[in-house]
Homo-oligomer: A and B are copies of this chain.
Amino acid sequence: MNFLEAKILSDAVVKPGNILKIDNFLNHQIDIGIIRQIAQELCQRFSDAPVSKVLTIESSGIAIAVMVGNLLNVPVVFAKKSETANSTDEKYLSQAYSFTHKKMNNVYVSRPYLLYSDRVLIIDDFLADGQAVHALIDIASQAGAEVLGVGIAVEKGQQQGGRMLREAGYRLESVAIIENMDCQSQTIRFREQL
């Protein structure tokens, strides 16, 4: 069992509706030691990839993405979900349904911040149905950038996001993959990884 699986077993709560609540260390309160280790693990798994930019999506992907960018010493771009009054830049636009917020979000990146020459590592905290990652891949492909891979902290292996990405040929690395979980007994089982 790796450090993140152990942390999930000790701190996560399984809630009805197939929800894994880990906001005490990942997506509301952030345990710095844990996200430091997540970033180190992802950087090690992608150590052969010549990443020029880390791409994530606001908000809870930013923390891990910044720690990865810090280790790789490359810029981090976070896709936004709402227009701001401050930007009149041309944008790459995609859409993602948020199961957390139960609504369709526009997702965009200002064009100057993703280049044809970029070799992108996509980072996010969670992978479930893959809506956010697909929007980020769509945006990267609009820019003509190369997606070297996708690095995730926690993948919910029962949902389709991971399978679809792997079948489409993307290199996907998830530090912890939940095979199944049960809110009655609060049991969580992880997929074996080499």
Residues of A within 8 A of B (CB): 15, 17, 19, 21, 23-24, 28-33, 35-36, 58-59, 62-63, 66-67, 69-70, 73-78, 80, 82, 84-87, 99-102, 109-110, 112-113
Contacts and interface: CB of A to CB of B under 8 A. Distances in A.
Contacts of A58: 58-59
Given A28-B78, A66-B67, A70-B67, A19 B113 contact: no
Contact of A30 (B23, B30, B78, B101): B78
Q: How many copies does the complex hold?
A: 2
Interface centre among A19, A59, A102, A109, by most chain B C-beta atoms within 10 angstroms, is A59
Nearest 7 interchain pairs by C-beta: A58-B59, A29-B113, A59-B59, A30-B76, A62-B62, A32-B69, A63-B66
